[in-house]
Amino acid sequence: AMSSAGGRQPSQSRAIPTRTVALSDATQLPPDYCTTPGGTLFSTTPGGTRIIYDRKFLLDRRNSPMAQTPPCHLPNIPGVTSPGSAGEEPKADANSLNH
């Protein structure tokens, strides 16, 4: 007799509903497709290795010395990699976006 169940009937198992969406380009993916609501990030390497960073790991890295300084050899992009002037709007050039 299993009294630990509290007198409840076991739940019926049901298939989790899924749907398949065909994408023709990576730009059709939502911006948060590789995150969970809890903050876990997951991805794969080109070789197929799975990479999983949970929220606690990422928050622990926030205080590392490497996180306190910007990477070296960044291009100078006002408002992105260097402070921009207050009312400056970035002007996107169609040719520069392709490089």
Dump pLDDT digits (tens) for 53-84.
888 888 888 888 888 887 888 888 888 888 87
For 38, the domain range is 18-64
Q: Is the pTM of this model over 0.75?
A: no
Asked if 52 contacts 40 with a C-beta cutoff of 8 angstroms, the reply is yes
Residue type, 6: G
88 occurs within a structural domain? no
* pLDDT reading at 95 higher than 60: no
Largest CA distance in the chain: 74
Q: How confident is the model at residue 24 (pLDDT cuts 50, 70, 90)?
A: confident
Establish if 96 belongs to a structural domain: no
- pLDDT band at residue 90 under the 50/70/90 scheme: low
| Residue 55 counted as domain residue | yes
| CA gap 85, 95 in Å, rounded | 24
Rounded to 5°, angle at Cα 45 from 39 and 50: 55
CA distance 77 to 71: 14
Question: How many independent structural domains does the chain possess?
Answer: 1
Q: Is the pLDDT of residue 48 over 70?
A: yes
